[in-house]
A and B are shown apart, each in its own frame.
Chain A
Amino acid sequence: MSTAVDLDVALLKSEIRKTYASVADEPDREFIFPTGRGWAEDLRYPPELRDVPDAAAESFAGVANPWELGRLAPGERVLDLGSGAGTDSLVAALMVGESGRVTGIDMTPEMLVKARTAAAELGASNVEFVRAEAERLPSPDESFDVVISNGVIDLIPDKDAVFAELFRVLVPGGRMQIADVTIQNPVSEEGRRNIDLWTG
């Protein structure tokens, strides 16, 4: 993978996986972290949140509310990039209904287990959770109408590869509605080489 600086991408991804595995396995641990259903409610998530099982909502870790951009339509095909424990995917599954389809992509096995458990509890048959990395999506060209994501892209070293993949898998006219973190000033190259600064 190409990045602008000399960065141990494998180590970075390993550190991110470890942290989010902890969020998945220990939702009650004091992360001092605005995870969970209460945080999603504070962000004014849509009413479908009420039906999302605790197994997913307790590990919600978004940074903002991409649903403020609008709801999904019944029948739409949705990709959730970095689906985590599945809260946004399940909200999407409820919005698009039986005629729609949601694919959640995540690289943390512990999160995938939680998401699948929550989907089963909800009885959602129109959603699947797949282990994959954002730079290499396991989906055909032009296979989604909408991409959603919340607090994921800033963690990925090769943004150009991610955006190229999202463009590839969206249909012409398709849209992305995402939440993420930006910074006020570019980080120095020395900072970008520091794994701790990346994972934060």
Chain B
Amino acid sequence: MAGALTERDFVAKLERAGFGAVEVLEREPMSVDDCALYPLFDDELLGLMRRLIPPEMQAEVGVAIVVRARR
């Protein structure tokens, strides 16, 4: 997840590459517990996230988005 961008940066990079009509059409929040469902999040990493991310922010550490753009 360290490689993920904020939505604003994601859209900006698409536009900088030349894409237009960029639309984010769905947003599904991901909590630390949701991240635990994915194979790249091992116990060590999850422990780190739970220790380092403030509790009030753990409910939405990421957002699964669906994006459309046109060349």
A residues within 8 Å of B by Cβ?
16, 19-20, 22-23, 31-35, 61, 63-66, 68-69, 151, 154-157, 159-160, 163-164, 166-167, 170-187, 191-192, 194, 196-200
Contact = CB atoms under 8 A, between A and B. Distances in A.
B50 to A, nearest CB: 12
Contacts of A181: 1, 4, 30, 62-65
Interface string B14-54: 10111100000110101000011111111011101100000
27 contacts: A16-B40, A22-B39, A31-B39, A35-B39, A64-B26, A65-B66, A66-B66, A154-B3, A159-B5, A172-B71, A173-B70, A176-B70, A177-B67, A178-B66, A181-B62, A181-B63, A182-B6, A182-B7, A182-B62, A183-B1, A187-B1, A196-B42, A198-B1, A198-B2, A199-B40, A200-B40, A200-B46
A200 B37 contact: no
B69 A175 contact: yes
Nearest to B8: A182
Given A33-B38, A68-B26, A177 B68 contact: yes
B64 to A, nearest CB: 4
Given A33-B37, A173-B71, A194 B13 contact: no
Nearest to A155: B3
Given A33-B37, A34-B37, A182-B5, A69 B68 contact: yes
A64 B42 contact: no
A2 B66 CA distance: 27
B17 A167 contact: yes
Most chain B C-beta atoms within 10 Å of own C-beta, residue among A20, A156, A200: A200
A42 B1 CA distance: 23
Nearest to A142: B71
7 smallest beta-carbon distances between A and B, as pairs: A163-B17, A197-B2, A154-B4, A170-B71, A64-B64, A200-B41, A200-B45
A22 B38 CA distance: 12
Contacts of B42: 196, 200
A177 B69 CA distance: 7
B62 to A, nearest CB: 5
A154 B9 CA distance: 12
A187 B9 CA distance: 12
